[in-house]
Amino acid sequence: MNDTAVLEIKNVNKTFRVGFLRKKIDVLRDLSLTVNRGEIYGFIGPNGAGKTTTIKLIVGLIWQDKGEITLFNYRNTDIEAKKRLGFLPENPLFYDYLTIFEFLDLSAQLYTISASERKNRINYLLEKFNIKYWQNHSLRKVSRGTMQRVGLAQALLNQPEILILDEPMSNLDPIGRRDVRDILLELKEQGTSIFFSSHILGDAEMLCDRVGIIFNGKLVSEGKLDELLDQEVVKYEVVAKGIEPNKISSSIATLVSIQKDTLLLYVNEENSLEQLLNLFMKEKAKILSIVPSKNTLEDYFIHKIKEIKGGKK
């Protein structure tokens, strides 16, 4: 294991047998990846690609058929490794007759944290995730979004060195997602490594140092975002008012929408943008905004999956 890696997955294979005939399904095929100390690694892929299976393997809920998984140079099933990780599954199920505080206190006791320290950590996390108001409510009476925040809080009780999160933004409203993003970035600054799967590619793009794309159980792409994404401008989004749409040639810009007298236009080339601006000056149109647009992680992801499905790779 290299000095900077906290998680290493080496040539892991996992097969399930399903149905009456016990049909063999290869869920993971020769999967290898590394998560380094203090980085956020996004694990993305379509439904059924193998993301949740990989996470269950990392935390020791199931076992691989072949390959090796290590955490901090220990086997992932070693108790010393488990002490240093925090985990949130995709669909957490808690003892719903407990209050939020009781559940977090019970979870903290599993780490043999002293009573006074448990109280301090729980109160800190209740404030951090904006759920202190609900601390004496039973879990069966809180919303799914609140339950998700409780799950994230329990994952941090032991002050883990690596967080393993399966769809951490699910069930959260926009404010909740922003709060969680801020907390994850703060944890990264403190040196915590984070490995998470997500369908919300915008969040992954904002958070991740590196991403890996899994498809049909294989890692098909991996790297830093600035290496994967083309940083060149691919189009310009122009918003303007005070000009008739029929005066704008389709060879210069594509009309996307009209709201009252305001137009949204897409322009693909810099030369075309210059022609459009000259037309606006001539017609005395008012330019409200010009926004250059680059390829996003979602663009890259969709292109990569279509490329593979099309048999080009």
Counting the structural domains of the chain, the total is 2
The tokens describing 204, both together, are: 């992954």
CATH code for the domain of 200 = 3.40.50.300
- Mean pLDDT estimate for the chain: 91
284-296 pLDDT, tens digit per residue, is 999 999 988 888 8
Residue 309 domain-assigned (yes or no): no
**One domain, residues 189 and 274:** no
Kindly state the tokens that stand for 294.
């680059």
> Is 312 part of any domain?
no
Give 2's pLDDT tier (boundaries 50, 70, 90): low
Q: Are strands 233-241 and 5-18 parallel, antiparallel or unpaired?
A: unpaired
Asked if residue 252 and residue 177 are part of one domain, the reply reads no
Two tokens at 61?
Answer: 């809920």
The reply to whether 113 falls in a domain is: yes
**Average pLDDT for residues 243-247, to the nearest whole number?**
90
Q: What is the band of 226 on the pLDDT scale with cuts at 50, 70, 90?
A: confident
Q: What is the pLDDT of residue 21?
A: 83
User: Residue 309: what pLDDT?
Assistant: 83
* pLDDT exceeds cutoff 70 at 137: yes
Mean pLDDT of 142-169: 93
Q: Specify whether the backbone of 304 is left (phi greater than 0), alpha (psi in -120 to 50) or beta.
A: alpha
**Domain range for residue 252?**
233-294
Whether 197 maps to a domain, the answer reads yes
- The two structure tokens encoding residue 306: 């279509």
Whether residues 41 and 141 fall in one domain? yes
In a domain, 95, yes or no: yes
246 with 217, same domain: the answer is: no
Structure tokens belonging to residue 257? 């929408």
Over residues 193-201, the mean pLDDT reads 92
Mark which of 228, 261, 276 sits at the end of a domain: 228
- Tell me the pLDDT tens digit for each residue of 47-72: 889 999 999 999 999 999 999 999 99
CA 154 to CA 77: how far, in whole Å?
A: 20
If asked whether residues 175 and 76 sit together in one domain, one would say yes
In a domain, 304, yes or no: no
Q: Kindly state whether residues 138 and 27 are assigned to the same domain.
A: yes
Q: In this model, does residue 23 exceed pLDDT 90?
A: no
Query: Can you give the pLDDT at residue 282?
Result: 92
Q: Examine the domain organization and report whether 32 and 145 are in the same domain.
A: yes
- 114 and 182 both lie in a single domain: yes
Q: Do 43 and 137 sit in the same domain of this protein?
A: yes
Tell me if 110 is assigned to some domain: yes
Q: So what's the pLDDT on residue 152?
A: 94
Do 292 and 238 touch, CB atoms closer than 8 A? no
Last residue of a domain, one of 208, 228, 248: 228
The secondary structure of the chain, three-state, reads CCCCEEEEEEEEEEEEEECCCCEEEEEEEEEEEEEECCCEEEEECCCCCCHHHHHHHHCCCCCCCEEEEEECCEECCCHHHHCCEEEECCCCCCCCCCEHHHHHHHHHHCCCCCHHHHHHHHHHHHHHCCCHHHCCCEHHHCCHHHHHHHHHHHHCCCCCCEEEEECCCCCCCHHHHHHHHHHHHHHHHCCCEEEEECCCHHHHHHHCCEEEEEECCEEEEEEEHHHHCCCCEEEEEEEEECCCHHHCCCCCCEEEEEECCEEEEEECCHHHHHHHHHHHHHHCCEEEEEEEEECCHHHHHHHHHHHHHCCCC
170 and 266 belong to one structural domain: no
Quick one: 41 and 22 in the same domain? Answer: yes
Length of the chain measured in residues: 313
306 falls within a domain:
no
pLDDT at residue 176 greater than cutoff 90: no
Residues 171, 281, single domain; the answer is no
- Residue 248 maps to which CATH number? 3.30.70
Q: In which residue are the tokens 């000095």 written?
A: 3
In 3D space, the residue among 158, 191, 150, 172 whose CA is nearest the CA of residue 40 turns out to be 191
